[in-house]
Amino acid sequence: MMTIKGYVRENGSVGVRNHVLVLPIDDLSNSAAVGVAKLVRGTTAIPHPYGRLQFGRDLDLLFHILSGTGANPNVAGVVVIGIEDNWANKVADGIARTGKPVEVFPIEGYGDLKTIERASRKAKEMVQEASEKQRTEVDISSIVMSVKCGESDTTSGLASNPSVGVVVDKMVDLGAVAMFGETSELTGAEDIVAEKMATPELREKFLKIYKEYVDVIEREGVDLLGSQPTQGNIKGGLSTIEEKALGNIQKLGHRKVNCVLDYLDPLRREKGGTLCFVNTSSAAAEAVTLFAAKGSVVHLFTTGQGNIVGHPIIPVIKITGNPKTAKFMSEHIDVDVSDLLDLKISLEEAGERVFNYMLRVLNGRLTAAEVLQHDEFSPIKLYISA
Amino acid sequence: MPRGLIHSESDDVCVVTTDVQKGEEVLCAYLEKPASHVMLKSLDDIPLGHKIALRDIKAGEKVLKYGRVIGIATKDVMKGQHVHVHNLRSLRWGRR
């Protein structure tokens, strides 16, 4: 049995951070949310541009992301601010099911200043309560992690991604949950991912999700040449989407995928370890935001050319196999595995290096992205608003 | 120390792991069995992370990396030349 020190929440889930969140439901509420975070030390506001006149599946996804972010075990308590209280209450109800403190403050009828005062009084209480929560020894199987690569280059497929693959195998074997996504970026390797599915039903669900995603792109009358590979990918030597995808999937490890989640599906743990495909966009912040909303408490992010993404409530660990990026963007890089390129270390040793670093982060060490205030919160929007 | 790595035995390309100057000799090692390797002369300047052709490739031929097709050559490529978007294109996208 392997343990880490985490925060056990009211519903038994385990977090590795202890944030008090100030959650705006809509764009109009960002000012008040940021206002609270300025007044009350120890709070984190997560402004975003959405939440008005959305409808259907797109609105459900926004609620899923906002509720899921508040419900994430890295969060101790949540102050919800919305222009009106109907939608705000819906999101708060989703968070309240975890048993953690959550309270809604509507702006209509009060104005920003009174709302900031009311919400700040509550936030102050929550921060003081959260400050008494202690880390306790818990089995590592309670951890939910996620993986994604960004600004990839050929070193991603050679070094950083397979190193993360070693960690994914290890975590699944230890009974934990690992999630991956990037639906469109699997193009050229989608058949390999389909082969990894544990059952025919999961394979079918995965291929349906993949096809729907690509169909949306084709319906726009375009393909993704020019976007995929990105200009950064091309600069780093990746020539085609197929080449990029084959590098991408190196981080999935070698276990069967026993869980496939579409946008609105909640995470379910499988006995003996869970490896989950999650339907996500391949944009870094959107993907990490969705993983966190599904319950990920730590993210392993591999980069070749130097993607610098972070997230307001989950630590994002940056890993590179590119020696130039490790040198010239060192403040963003947590783990350098570029010595794999010289064959100075084995893949297992590189994986062990990433795993050990992740343990330190789970136990409290801050990542580069956390210290540099990379707090990207980017809900996925599916289509136009009304 | 190798200056390039080859993912799979059937691959047509090697990824250079240092910047390579035109005319330099490059030792490419196979990831699956690092003791075996090939030596070839670079015909181009090739930046770290970019690909060098391990054989002569004719226009229209499929190009393998990871033992899989990563695209199709859009012009003749000589062994030792830089392989990238100027002579390789996706079979999945970019055909319109």
Is residue A14 situated within a structural domain?
A: no
Clarify whether residues A178 and A98 are in a common domain: no
Nearest CA in chain B to A217: B93
Domain assignment present for residue A3? The answer is no
In the structure encoding, which two tokens stand for residue A291, read together?
Answer: 């993983």
Contact A157 B7 (CB under 8 A): yes
Correct CATH for B4-89 of 2.30.130.110, 3.40.50.300, 3.40.50.20, 3.30.365.10: 2.30.130.110
Cα angle value B85/B86/B90 (rounded, 5°):
40
Q: Which of A242, A304, A341 sits opposite B17 (nearest CB)?
A: A341
Q: Point out the least confidently predicted range of A39-53, A195-209, B28-42.
A: B28-42
Q: List chain B residues with CB under 8 Å of A237.
A: 15, 47-51, 84
The answer, yes or no, to whether residue B8 has pLDDT greater than 80, is yes
Q: What is the pLDDT of residue A1?
A: 82
**pLDDT > 50? residue A66:** yes
Q: Is B20 on the interface with A (CB under 8 A)?
A: no
If asked whether residues A219 and A293 sit together in one domain, one would say yes
Interhelix angle A161-173/A347-362, rounded to 10 degrees, is: 60
Q: Once rounded to an integer, what is the mean pLDDT over residues A125-154?
A: 98
Q: Is residue A359 over pLDDT 50?
A: yes
Indicate if A80 and A192 belong to the same structural domain. Answer: no
Same domain as A226, residue A279: yes
Cβ neighbours for A130, distance < 8 A, ≥ 6 positions apart: A18, A19, A20, A42, A76, A77
Q: A241 in contact with B at a CB cutoff of 8 Å?
A: yes
B51 to chain A, any CB pair closer than 8 A? The answer is yes
Treating both helix axes as pointing N-terminal to C-terminal, what angle do A56-71 and A284-294 enclose, rounded to 10 degrees?
A: 70
Question: How confident is the model over A6-15, as a mean pLDDT?
Answer: 98
Q: Which two tokens stand for residue A250?
A: 């190196």
Residue A200 preceded by cis peptide, ω within 30: no
Contact B48 A343 (CB under 8 A): no
Range in A254-268, A293-307, B80-94 the model is least confident about: B80-94
Both structure tokens of A329: 């963007």
Cα–Cα dist B86/B83, whole Å: 8
Q: How far apart (Å, rounded) are the C-alpha atoms in residues A240 and A154?
A: 11
Q: What is the pLDDT of residue A65?
A: 98
Partners of residue B65 in chain A, C-beta under 8 Å: 243, 246
Pair A206, A292 in one domain = yes
Instruction: Kindly report the number of other CB atoms within 10 A of residue A215's CB atom.
Output: 9
CB B48 within 8 A of CB B34: no
Helices (H), chain A: 30-39, 56-71, 85-96, 112-130, 154-155, 161-173, 190-195, 200-219, 231-235, 241-248, 284-294, 323-328, 347-362, 368-371
How many domains, in total, are found in chain A?
A: 2
Give CA–CA dist A213/A225, Å, rounded: 16
Test B5 with A322 for CB contact under 8 angstroms: no
Closest in B1, B15, B88 to A158, CB measured: B15
Specify whether A277 is located in the same domain as A365: yes
Owner of token pair 């929550």: A126
* Inter-chain residue contact A240 with B71, CB threshold 8 Å: yes
* Domain end (from A91, A108, A130): A130
Same domain, A161 and A84: no
Distance of CA A321 to the CA centre of its chain: 21
Tell me the average pLDDT across B83-94: 90
Query: Read out DSSP for A69-90?
Result: HHHSTTEEEEEEEESSHHHHHH
In a domain, A160, yes or no: yes
Mean per-residue pLDDT, A40-57: 97
Interfacial A residues in 2-61 facing B (CB < 8 Å)? none
Cβ distance B34 to A154 less than 8 Å, yes or no, reads: no
A185 touches chain B (CB under 8 A): no
Please report whether residue A6 resides in a domain: no
Please determine, for residue A226, whether its predicted confidence score (pLDDT) is greater than 70. Answer: no
Domain positions in chain B are 4-89
Does one domain contain both A189 and A232?
A: yes
Same domain, A87 and A177: no
Concatenated DSSP letters for A266-333? Answer: PP-PPTT-EEEEE---SSHHHHHHHHHHHT--EEEEEESS------SSS-EEEEE--HHHHHHTGGG-
Q: Does residue A334 belong to any structural domain of this protein?
A: yes
Of B1, B49, B90, the CB nearest to A322: B49
Under 8 Å CB-to-CB from A77, ≥6 apart: which residues? A20, A21, A100, A101, A102, A126, A129, A130
Q: Which domain holds residue A248?
A: 142-371
pLDDT for B95 beyond 60: no
The pLDDT-based confidence of A7 (bands split at 50, 70, 90) is very high
Query: Measured between CB atoms, does B24 come within 8 Å of chain A?
Result: no
Q: Are residues A106 and A179 in the same domain?
A: no
A376 in a structural domain? no
A250: nearest CA partner in chain B: B66
Q: What share of chain B is helix, strand, coil (3-state, %, to 5)?
A: 0, 40, 60
Nearest CB neighbour to B71, from listed A228, A239, A304: A239
The confidence score (pLDDT) of residue B49 equals 97
CB of A384 closer than 8 Å to CB of A295 = no
pLDDT the model gives residue B34: 80
Residues A65 and A180 in one domain: no
Are A158 and A341 within 8 A, CB to CB?
Answer: yes
* pLDDT of A368 strictly over 50: yes
A241, A246, A322 member nearest B65 (Cβ): A246
* Residue type at A297 in one-letter notation: V
| Residue A384 domain flag | no
Select from B88, B90, B91 the residue whose CB has the most chain A CBs within 10 Å, as the one to mutate to test that interface: B90
pLDDT at B33 over 80: yes
Does A87 or A219 have the greater pLDDT score?
A87
Distance CA A303, CA A258 (A): 26
Determine the distance from the C-alpha atom of residue A144 to the mean position of all C-alpha atoms in its chain, rounded to a whole number.
Answer: 10
For residue B94, what pLDDT is reported? 63
Q: If pLDDT is split at 50, 70 and 90, which confidence band does B96 have? A: very low
Q: Which of A163, A190, A239, A251 is the mutation pick for testing B, counting most B CBs within 10 A?
A: A239
> What pTM does this model have?
0.97
Complex ipTM value: 0.97
Same domain assignment for residues A254 and A295: yes
CB–CB contacts below 8 A, A to B: 91
Q: Could B92 and A239 be called an inter-chain contact, meaning their C-beta atoms sit closer than 8 Å?
A: no
Does A341 contact B at CB distance below 8 Å? yes
